[in-house]
Amino acid sequence: MNYFAFSGLVNFIACAFLGVFVFNQNRKNPQNISYFILNVSVAVYSIGYFLWQIDYLGESVIWFKVLVAGIILINPSYLLFVFIFLNIIRKKTPTLLVIALVNIFFIAACVKESLWSGFVPKFGLGLWPVPSRLFSLYLVFWAFQCLYGFYYLGKNLRVGSHKRRLQIRYFTIAAFVGFIGGATNWPMWYGLYFPPYPNILISLYIAIVAYAIVRHELMDIEIIVKRSIVFAGLFFVLYSVFSLIVYISSLSYVRFTDNRFVSIIPSVIIIIIMFRPLEKYLIKITDNYLFQKRYDYKVLLRSFTNNLLSIMDLKKLIITAEEQITSIVRISNAAILVYDRHTDIFSLFAGAGDLKNKAFTLKNTAELWDYILRKDAYAVISSENKERDDIPVILVDLIKSLNSSLIIPLIYQNDVLGILSLGMKLSDEEYSQEDIDILVPVSITLSIAIANAKLFEQLSETQAQAAQREKMAVVGTLSAGINHEICNPLGIIRGQCEAFMLNYQGGFYKNKSDKELLTRSLEIMTKVIRETERASSITQKLSSFAKPSKGQMSASVSIKKELKEVIALVEHELKISNIELKDNVPDDLPRITIDTKQLQEILFNLISNAAQAIVENGEIEISGTYDADKVTIRISDNGPGIREEILKKIFEPFFTTKDPGKGTGLGLFIVKQIIEKNSGIITVNSETGKGTVFLVMFPFVEGA
Amino acid sequence: MDKPKILAIDDEDNYTEIFEEYFSLRGYDIRVETDPRKAIGFIGNERFDVILVDLKMGGVSGQDILKKVRDTDDRTKVIIITAYILSGKSKQELYDLGAYSINSKPINSLEELENTVNKAYSGN
């Protein structure tokens, strides 16, 4: 077998396989049928070519007729396919019929051997025909048909969607390659020395079409079962290798052995060894390069369950979800609307490009929900659906504003949580049922995550409210000291002014000069101003402290500074009970990142606790230390201490050792929550009779 | 009518200053003390007719003063001046300990206070 025979055989196999494959994908689709016919023609040409070259049964002339019949059939079936492919078959049918008739005429001519006047061996490449004038006419007709097809393909190269244009482009290239391959045979007809090596390009035509099918869904074939592609490729490669080896060994078998079967053994061994690795390699390639357009739903599900479910901040959750969906599912845009039960409004939380900056909201959505619930949990919007009448206006508007291709409502336990809107896939594909089967559970996961985040928000609010109540209750215990701190200054102000007035009016200043009186007045005014500042300072501190904290972290907070504020609030109370408060916090204690208000609350609570434990006559000391990664605040008192069995429970909510009505017992529980919310830790140590030490640790970053 | 000898105890010297000037200008014999511990000390040794005292001064409370007075000389009248808002029960306790009257800070009027001092002294 020479090279040309080989090329014919390879072409035959490739065409036959692809033709049958495409036909199998959809036996009723005219496109698939016409492609099958085209490939059958090319296969006929190829097998004829092969048999002619090997002079099978010595009947190379007959095989040559088969070959030519194939050539003649190729062009009309090519045109048929092109017209169907480009959707212009209807208006082209008359033309096509005429062309078909002409071709039938030429086939008859072929059968009758009118296309040539005989056969001669040419250039050692086998028997080639001597063309007749009729053949030259055919050649012109042949070229005309080619160009006719290319003309229409060229016209449509820029028409249609992105995917469509790619499909047309690929087929055009493939057809061009195939025709060039076949056309290199013509020179030999006319006695020009040009060994038609490019004949094998016809297989390249097949390869290009196959690639376009898999990568760009040429002929709307979705490659779902990739095994068939893998094994087809495998088979093809192996067969080629086998053929090559048989060919080579057939040249040398003469030297080694007479037995043809023995000479095949090396090939068989190679195939057995290569099979597995080749299979794996092909699967890997197909996975990586040919199926990129398919999103890995496992990645999507994993990302959702692992990452999203642990995000408790609602806004961050929604934004992350939208980003994940857009990138993993490979879509052009997505949007998530979240429903607020109190206002009955859906607000855009993430996505939709520049719509996000406007306040996009959706109101009066009862109709929308009716529609969605009737349609059983999701709504697919394809281009056909857009024209349907029963879609509520609000949904149509939503689709338009958000550029939706698919809308999935987010529902959890009969509660409406929001809407997930997905745009077009980047590959221009429509959403299939398989997509929806994956995306619906994903949206349920999202709904759960949203419900979680909302619950967490509510919980935080409840906690915050409890903390605030607790704070106010404790602040109430300061009333004595604070009152004292306000009333004393007021008393002094009033007293100083009144005394001066009464003394002056009573004539007691008769002997004082004006200058002395003026000096005295100025002294009094200075005292008044100072006492006013004293009183307003304490009222300011108190009202600032009493406000609920917003939970905003500030970087670079000085513990010493916040402690001073707290001491200003409590010192008067402590003084009255004769409790000494020692501030031994070093000035160089590193700053931490924390909510300043909450830090004050923590210190305030712990100092109040210590004071209440001591009752009277004692000492509270606050100091601080730090090491490589944390700052430790130490609050110690020399009160009665806490018994071991109680020590275990003091951080429990509602645990209190005070008399009923004298404390909610929430204090330390809330203190612990606040500390932990600020990434800190609290520990306690106590010895009855000696006192108690609380240690509060916060992380800090060097240079923060 | 002679004037009572007064002792004013308050840990704020801005207050004691007021009393000292006001009463001494009007001919009272007044002594002021800002350290309640010292005051407790000389209450036993010196006799006063009227004592003006703040309630919670840290270390020594008004109650301690009352008790000291009761133990040493129960003719001395004690007038309490306090910024504290006292409950009925606490007030009763103070009266039981011998307080003559309980005034609040800021002092409503120095003149009123003077009246109270004189009334206390004259035994009304």
- What is the residue whose two structure tokens read 């309490």? B80
CATH superfamily, with its number, for domain A297-457: GAF domain (3.30.450.40)
| Interface residue A491 vs chain B (CB under 8 A) | yes
The whole-angstrom separation of Cα A54 and Cα A63 is 10
| Interface residue B15 vs chain A (CB under 8 A) | yes
Handedness of CA A344, A347, A349, A352 (dihedral sign): positive
State residue A704's pLDDT score.
46
User: What is the percent of chain A with per-residue pLDDT over 90, rounded to a whole number?
Assistant: 18
* β-pair type (A334-340, A127-131): unpaired
Asked if the model's pLDDT at residue B74 lies above 90, the reply is no
| Interface residue A147 vs chain B (CB under 8 A) | no
User: Which option is the CATH number for A3-222: 3.20.20.70, 2.40.110.10, 1.20.1070.10, 1.10.1060.10?
Assistant: 1.20.1070.10
Asked if the model's pLDDT at residue B81 lies above 90, the reply is no
User: What is the percent of chain B with per-residue pLDDT over 70, rounded to a whole number?
Assistant: 94
State residue A429's pLDDT score.
65
> pLDDT tens, A642-653?
888 888 888 876
Instruction: Find chain A residues with C-beta within 8 A of B28's C-beta.
Output: none
Comparing A230 with A87, the larger pLDDT belongs to A87
Could you count the other beta carbons within 10 Å of the beta carbon of residue A689?
Answer: 9
- What is the residue whose two structure tokens read 């006319």? A190
DSSP state of A591: P
**If pLDDT is split at 50, 70 and 90, which confidence band does A228 have?**
low
| Interface residue B95 vs chain A (CB under 8 A) | no
Secondary structure of residue A364 in the 3-state scheme:
coil
ipTM of the complex: 0.88
Tokens of A551: 């939970």
The whole-angstrom separation of Cα B84 and Cα B89 is 13
State residue A224's pLDDT score.
46
| Interface residue A157 vs chain B (CB under 8 A) | no
Asked if the model's pLDDT at residue A291 lies above 60, the reply is no
Handedness of CA A411, A414, A416, A417 (dihedral sign): negative
| b/e sequence A480-513, b meaning 16+ C-beta within 10 Å | bbbbbbbbbbbbbbbbbbbbbebbeeeebeeeee
Amino acid symbol at A481: G
Asked if the model's pLDDT at residue A664 lies above 70, the reply is no
| Interface residue B84 vs chain A (CB under 8 A) | yes
Instruction: Find chain A residues with C-beta within 8 A of B106's C-beta.
Output: 487, 490-491, 493-495
DSSP characters over B64-103: HHHHHHHHH-TTSEEEEEESS---HHHHHHHHHTTEEEEE
Could you count the other beta carbons within 10 Å of the beta carbon of residue A80?
Answer: 23
Contact (Cβ atoms closer than 8 angstroms) between residue A641 and residue A688: yes
What is the Cα gyration radius of chain B?
A: 13
> pLDDT tens, A483-499?
777 888 888 898 899 99
Phi, psi of A422, deg, nearest 5: -115, 140
**pTM metric for this prediction:** 0.45
* β-pair type (A592-594, A630-637): unpaired
- The helices-and-strands tally (H runs, E runs) of chain A is 21, 15
The partner residues of A419 in beta bridges, in order of sequence, read: A337, A409
Q: Stretch A362-375: mean pLDDT, rounded?
A: 68
**If pLDDT is split at 50, 70 and 90, which confidence band does A660 have?**
low
Instruction: Find chain B residues with C-beta within 8 A of A527's C-beta.
Output: 14
Q: Stretch A542-557: mean pLDDT, rounded?
A: 79
A123: left (phi over 0), alpha (psi -120 to 50) or beta: left
State residue A225's pLDDT score.
44
Could you count the other beta carbons within 10 Å of the beta carbon of residue A20?
Answer: 14
Q: Stretch A342-354: mean pLDDT, rounded?
A: 69
Asked if the model's pLDDT at residue A654 lies above 80, the reply is no
* β-pair type (B5-9, A406-412): unpaired
Q: Among candidates A396, A397, A403, which has minimal Cα distance to A424?
A: A403
The whole-angstrom separation of Cα A102 and Cα A173 is 27
Which of B23, B55, B84, B113 to mutate to probe the A interface, most A CBs <10 Å? Answer: B84
> pLDDT tens, A13-71?
989 988 998 888 888 888 889 999 999 999 999 999 999 888 878 877 888 889 899 99
Name the residue ranges covered by the structural domains of chain A: 3-222, 225-292, 297-457, 478-547, 551-704
Q: What angle do CA A535, A536, A540 make, to 5 degrees?
A: 125
Instruction: Find chain B residues with C-beta within 8 A of A494's C-beta.
Output: 106-107
> pLDDT tens, A77-98?
999 999 998 888 888 889 999 9
**If pLDDT is split at 50, 70 and 90, which confidence band does A620 have?**
very high
**If pLDDT is split at 50, 70 and 90, which confidence band does A532 have?**
very high
Q: What is the dihedral of CA A458, A461, A462, A464, to 10 degrees?
A: 160
- Cis-peptide into B106, omega within 30 deg: yes
The whole-angstrom separation of Cα A486 and Cα A117 is 128
The whole-angstrom separation of Cα A411 and Cα A542 is 46
Phi, psi of A681, deg, nearest 5: -135, 145
* Helical H segments across A577-624, by residue range: 596-614
Query: B3 to chain A nearest CA, in Å?
Result: 17
The whole-angstrom separation of Cα B112 and Cα B120 is 12
Domain A551-704 annotated CATH 3.90.105.10: no
Structural domains of chain B, ranges and CATH numbers in brackets: 5-122 (3.40.50.2300)
